[in-house]
Amino acid sequence: MRHVYRCPMRWADLDLLGHVNNVVYVDYLQEARVDMLRSQVTGSRAGGLATGLVVVRHEVDYLAPLSFDYGTVDIEVWATRVRAASFTLAYEMFHERDGERRIYARASTVLTPFVFATESPRRLSEDERASLAPYLEADRPEHHPTPARVAQTEQGHYPVHVRFSDVDAYGHVNNVKYVEYFQEGRLVLTSRLGEGIDVDLSVSGMVAARTEVDYRVPLTFRERPYDLWSQVSHVGRTSMRIDAEICDGDVVCARSSVVLVFWDPATGRPQEPRPEIRARAVAAMAAAGITPAG
């Protein structure tokens, strides 16, 4: 069984290309997840799933641009794995019109029950496992490779200043905001890569194709900024991957890996980057100590 949530869209969700921003996709998924857990899954003995969870990992595949139309976008949510102290939800975001489904994104989220009073995870209760059972569908095995550390270079540095509005009801920075922080750091890196070239890579020419985020240590509201480090880790024919970490001193609080596709806004199709852009990206890999494949 799948839960269906009709997510209202807002004008402010759009980016400079006129599409819903990649960070907002993750916000939509959160709305769908909360609606499922609050209205369908939880009962009197399983209510902790609606109020006491933290996100461990997100994976999002962006399949098509989503435009604003003063309406809603449908999101199906279901469970793919239930473990002793965590479970995984999957999503499909779409419009279905005239019997044809246009899919904008597929995604998954690993969550763990959390006791905020003690700042510690806990195991799922039998009632909570039973409440998830009707939504459980078999899925491919999960594989979460351990990423290498990100090089801390001046080119890839971005100070993360947490805003008061970034913090959720539990005193932690909301999981969606991490994705926004990584986007900000990525834009700073790509703008520096494009310096001296008549193309601003920070605002055009690239779109996100896949995002992975691993959450390790909660961020909180404070005056001192966290350090975000980004690096170009791979350059393909029409894409590149940027890996990043948010750190508090020597502590890695979160990691991300984002695949970006070089994009032709006129045709709406991938394109090869200009030679000077590719050369800058490859040079950035070398600066991070990464040898290009091939």
Q: How far is CA 108 from CA 17, 117, 279, in A?
A: 26, 27, 34
Q: What total of structural domains would you count in the chain?
A: 2
- Stretch 252-259: mean pLDDT: 98
CA–CA gap between residue 156 and residue 174 (Å, rounded): 23
Dihedral angle computed from the Cα positions of residues 48, 138, 105 and 96, in that order, rounded to the nearest 10 degrees: -100
Whole-model pTM over 0.75: yes
CA–CA gap between residue 254 and residue 220 (Å, rounded): 13
Residue 60 has pLDDT above 90, yes or no: yes
CA–CA gap between residue 105 and residue 251 (Å, rounded): 32
Q: Which two tokens stand for residue 220?
A: 């909180």
- Stretch 130-139: mean pLDDT: 91
Does 125 share its domain with 103? Answer: yes
CA–CA gap between residue 62 and residue 28 (Å, rounded): 13
Residue at which a domain ends, from 87, 110, 144: 144
CB neighbour list of residue 140: distance below 8 Å, 6 or more residues apart: none
Does 69 share its domain with 211? Answer: no
Does 132 share its domain with 154? Answer: no
Dihedral angle computed from the Cα positions of residues 62, 238, 144 and 53, in that order, rounded to the nearest 10 degrees: -30
Does 182 share its domain with 237? Answer: yes
Residue 50 has pLDDT above 60, yes or no: yes
Residue 43 has pLDDT above 70, yes or no: no
Residues above pLDDT 70, as percent of the chain: 92
Residue at which a domain ends, from 127, 144, 161: 144
Does 153 share its domain with 269? Answer: yes
Q: What is the pLDDT of residue 209?
A: 97
Residue 45 has pLDDT above 70, yes or no: no
Residues 170/117, Cβ–Cβ less than 8 Å: no
Does 102 share its domain with 191? Answer: no
CB neighbour list of residue 206: distance below 8 Å, 6 or more residues apart: 190, 260, 261, 262, 263
Q: What is the pLDDT of residue 78?
A: 98
Does 164 share its domain with 234? Answer: yes
CA–CA gap between residue 221 and residue 6 (Å, rounded): 32
Domain span at residue 5 reads 1-144
pLDDT tens, position by position, 15-24: 988 899 999 9
Residue 284 has pLDDT above 70, yes or no: yes
Does 105 share its domain with 40? Answer: yes
In DSSP notation, 17-75 reads: TSBB-HHHHHHHHHHHHHHHIIIII--TTSTHHHHSEEEEEEEEEE-S--B--SSEEEE
Does 12 share its domain with 121? Answer: yes
Does 8 share its domain with 54? Answer: yes
Residue at which a domain ends, from 117, 144, 171: 144
Closest CA to 212 of 158, 147, 153: 147
pLDDT tens, position by position, 191-228: 998 887 776 665 568 899 999 999 999 999 999 999 99
**CATH no. for residue 29?**
3.10.129.10
Does 126 share its domain with 240? Answer: no
- Residue carrying the six token digits 């980057």: 273
Does 50 share its domain with 163? Answer: no
